[in-house]
Structure 1
Amino acid sequence: MVSDSEPHLSGVVAAADGPDRFSLLPDCLLVSILSLLPIEDSVRTSILSTRWRHLWTLSPIRLLDDSGLRRLHQDQEEGIPLDGWRVRAIDRVLSAHAGPIRSCRISCLYFRFPLFDGWIQTLSQKGVQDLALRIPMERRFYVVPPSLITCPSLQSLDLCYCRFPNPTHPRPDLVNLRALKLNRSLVTDAAVHEIVSSCPALRSLALVHCAGLRRIHLRSRTLCSMILDDYALEVEEVFVVDAPNLESLMLGKSTTARTHVKVRNAPKLQLLGFVDMNIKMLELGNTRFQESKLNILSTLVHGLKKLAVRVNFHDDLQAHTLCDLLRCFPCLETLDVWIVGMDNYDEPDLENWEQQGSFDCLDHHLKGVTLKGFLGQRADLGFANFLIEKARVLKVMTLISVHAWKEGWVETKQQDLSLQNKASVNAEVVFVKEKHENNKFQPWSSLI
């Protein structure tokens, strides 16, 4: 800070040939300023003077292998591989920077794995906290090195096309890891168990499109969120044995249709989805659904607030299953429904909705409903009208449809809805235009 009373600073900006005020700042402050810049801009300051030459190497940095690195290393030599500039830039940054390197993302690289091992070891030595390795798969997976699974500074780890040795050696020691995501990787049940048990601070676990998993038994005192999507149809059982702080359990769109899902001890569970109404086996405490039929209901699940389901309303059994499921969650506040199978024009049994009584959640708690894939046929229209007529505290119902682009379609469907019989006077019905069907798995969102 400079006093306005100084005579040589009569304007806002000092003259170009005036005193170098930046050089008067202590190194610790300059380093703090450099830490706020993109790495390419931070490195550029090294040309200012001999004093600035090494300052950037003392500043905590985020190393992202994006186009910014190209400006650090313009390599036009013939014979250099396509990603040669990227490899050389990363090499130079890792060798020159003293650390810490707080965040690092490496992707889209094709090179020999031994080079990668050296980078991981260097990052571990320099205190990396957030690391994302997204390696394009050519013919094999990258084997996770010991320096990665024993890195004490790691707080977030995102791996794609990697493989964990079985058994893991040495034993994982990730004492500060809070978030772990494995995407399209090879990992066994035993490796997952060992990793989770070795992460006493783990709060988020995502297993997306991984191979090698069969029976996942989850025990964690700290875990708050879990995501599982099994595209290879290999997982036979997901058993939440003991997760007293688990609040969110997000499953792939058809996981419950082919996998036995069992939740024994998760008293704080508030979000569950997707639950395919073609249920193989779903156990929540003492409540059991087997082959889409409610077999045992001795206790209600009062803690659940958000539920996402996948349902074919042309299948009467799935419609009945949805009713039974809603009865299990008396405190449900948000319901997201992914409607599928609507290309079948067989007339559904609409008496199912006309004769259906209300549920506790409809009487007291349900405030938000989303219907994705709404086509306005008798099947999904009947369910929408059922909610409009029964949900007493409903605030908004969102209908996402590919037909909402058609001229006059929304106006026609508004007339078909029982808006004059709303149980909640303040409830609004909103139509959203959907450009195309998007069936890929995504983490939870209020709009599926």
Structure 2
Amino acid sequence: MQMEMEAGGFRSKRGRSVSPGKDEDGGGVDHISALPDAVLGEIITLLPTKDDARTRILASRWRHLWRSAPLNLEGRSLINHPDKRGKFAGVVSRILSSHQGPGCRFCIPDGHGRSIYGAATTMDAWLRSPALDNLQELDVWYDRCHQVPASTFRFKATLHVLTIGGCDLSKSSTVQGLGFPVLKQLGIECVIISESSIHSLIASCPVLECLSITYTYGFSCLRINSHSIKKIHIYGCGTDEPEQTDPIELKELIIESAPCLEILQDICNDGLHASIVSAPKLETLGILNEHKRDGVDYSTRLVFGSTVIQGLRVDSLATVVRTVKDLSVCMMALNLDIVIELMKCFPCLEKLSLQGWSTGEKNLWRRKHRKLIGCLDIRLKTIVISSYRGIWSEINFATFFVLNAKVLEFMIFQVGSTSEEFIAEQKKKLQFDNRASRVAQFRFTTGVAVEV
């Protein structure tokens, strides 16, 4: 029986209250409280912060458990709680002072430009609390306070997840000599960090699997040499802050050796040059984009060995890339010619996500690609088209795949309206009844999918 906790005991999914000493039929035993302390402690740790301390009122059996269970302090739930808003720092301090540890997760989120905890000494005191000893997950935002207390890194031997934001790590002495022997996820957001420091930080994580770097600057080149990393997410690594007159922005990404890398995501910095030297397991790639502003080309340049893709144009196709199965593309307008060239470059594509903004292309293909249709091996199983409006250039584009993708399973149109009239009109124009794949399903969604 599924249950949710409430102040007086448990509330079953059927809505009836169940006291801790009785089962749902009015008799029996509180089987949950009969579990070992270690199991109950794990249950408490999984609860939101605002709920885990409440377990003390469920039954006498639970009263001592919260203080000794691994602490999961999630700051977002406290900020959003109406009774705790404006009292955040005091609430966190009381929780830490009353908890005996050990620590599991400690999250102090972005205050959106305002301090939610006061002075930097407050954060330093929290991080030094015995309640956080042996911490496994740390997520801290310094509200652009450029003083990173040394206590931030006192958990380096036990951390599995580290996310740090709003601070200055540019001094090499800050991260030099650090070692994170069990860290698997590293997130860096809105941080100033030098090239030597970021390379030193990554090198200090020998079992790192996921790396996320967003809105961070201070380095122009990022080299990845990791035998463990599986996912890399890079986005917006520059700055638009007026006080930074000449910021150093990321311009070059080099994947020198990443034998386990499977996902390279959101590599869309203006003018980024990305080189994939060795990533034999890379399956997900995105976002390829074309971006021109004031006559200057800021599109991503992607190099696989001797194969070069500038923006979305395959400038040199010396070898095909067979490992990539999931590709995301952002183009000024949906352009079938470009997508066909990309499919030649990535012949084993199974999922293609597309976003186009303008209406510059007609995408007439029946005569132009008549000879190609018979020999092009379209392996796509899923196609997602964002910002779909149902205009003829988009209809022509989508119809190419409706009528020629023989193993297609899903085609998803993200639209502004899912009215019955619009869907009926599109179903007819897109020729769903003549689809090449008889198992293909077509969905129009604004968040809630409508299948036709």
TM-score by length of 2: 0.77
CA separation of 1:98 and 1:397: change in aligned 2, threshold 3 A:
same
- What residue in structure 2 maps to residue 422 of structure 1? 435
SS at match of 1:205: strand
- What residue in structure 1 maps to residue 392 of structure 2? 378
Counterpart check, 1:57 vs 2:59: no
Return the offset for 1:350.
Answer: 2.4
SS at match of 2:172: coil
CA distance in 1, matches of 2:99, 2:367: 66
User: Gapped runs of 5+ residues in structure 2?
Assistant: 1-21, 240-248, 292-298
CA separation of 1:104 and 1:361: change in aligned 2, threshold 3 A:
farther
CA distance in 2, matches of 1:68, 1:376: 44
Matches within 5 A, 1:142-153: 142-150=146-154, 151-153=156-158
Aligned residues: 403
Counterpart check, 1:225 vs 2:240: no
Counterpart check, 1:299 vs 2:319: yes
- What residue in structure 1 maps to residue 16 of structure 2? none
* 1:208-232 deviation digits (Å, cap 9, x = unpaired): 2223232111111111001111163
CA distance in 2, matches of 1:430, 1:65: 38
Quick check: 2:399–2:431 contact (8 Å CA) kept in 1?
Answer: yes
In structure 2, give the amino acid aligned to 1:377. I
Return the offset for 1:368.
Answer: 0.8
Quick check: 1:392–1:424 contact (8 Å CA) kept in 2?
Answer: yes
Quick check: 1:370–1:400 contact (8 Å CA) kept in 2?
Answer: yes
| Residue from 317, 321, 326 that aligns with 2:343 | 326
CA separation of 1:406 and 1:168: change in aligned 2, threshold 3 A:
farther
CA separation of 1:14 and 1:68: change in aligned 2, threshold 3 A:
farther
CA distance in 2, matches of 1:63, 1:223: 28
| Residue from 122, 132, 145 that aligns with 1:141 | 145
Matches within 5 A, 1:323-362: 323-342=340-359, 348=362, 350-351=364-365, 354-355=368-369, 358=372
In structure 1, give the amino acid aligned to 2:340. C
SS at match of 2:180: coil
- What residue in structure 1 maps to residue 18 of structure 2? none
- What residue in structure 2 maps to residue 245 of structure 1? 260
Quick check: 1:347–1:378 contact (8 Å CA) kept in 2?
Answer: no
CA distance in 1, matches of 2:345, 2:447: 31
Return the offset for 1:301.
Answer: 1.0
CA separation of 1:168 and 1:365: change in aligned 2, threshold 3 A:
farther
In structure 2, give the amino acid aligned to 1:295. D
CA distance in 1, matches of 2:446, 2:33: 56
Return the offset for 1:99.
Answer: 1.6
Counterpart check, 1:98 vs 2:100: yes
Return the offset for 1:321.
Answer: 3.1
- What residue in structure 1 maps to residue 209 of structure 2? 203
SS at match of 2:182: coil
CA distance in 2, matches of 1:23, 1:379: 63
- What residue in structure 2 maps to residue 445 of structure 1? none
- What residue in structure 1 maps to residue 120 of structure 2? 113
| Residue from 155, 162, 167 that aligns with 2:167 | 162
Task: Specify the structure having the higher radius of gyration (Cα).
Answer: 1
Quick check: 1:326–1:361 contact (8 Å CA) kept in 2?
Answer: no
In structure 2, give the amino acid aligned to 1:144. V
SS at match of 1:56: helix
What RMSD in Å do the two structures reach over aligned CA positions?
3.8
TM-score by length of 1: 0.77
CA separation of 1:277 and 1:98: change in aligned 2, threshold 3 A:
same
SS at match of 2:171: coil
- What residue in structure 2 maps to residue 132 of structure 1? 139
In structure 1, give the amino acid aligned to 2:93. D
Quick check: 1:326–1:359 contact (8 Å CA) kept in 2?
Answer: no
Return the offset for 1:297.
Answer: 1.9
Aligned-pair identity (%): 27
| Residue from 183, 207, 222 that aligns with 1:216 | 222
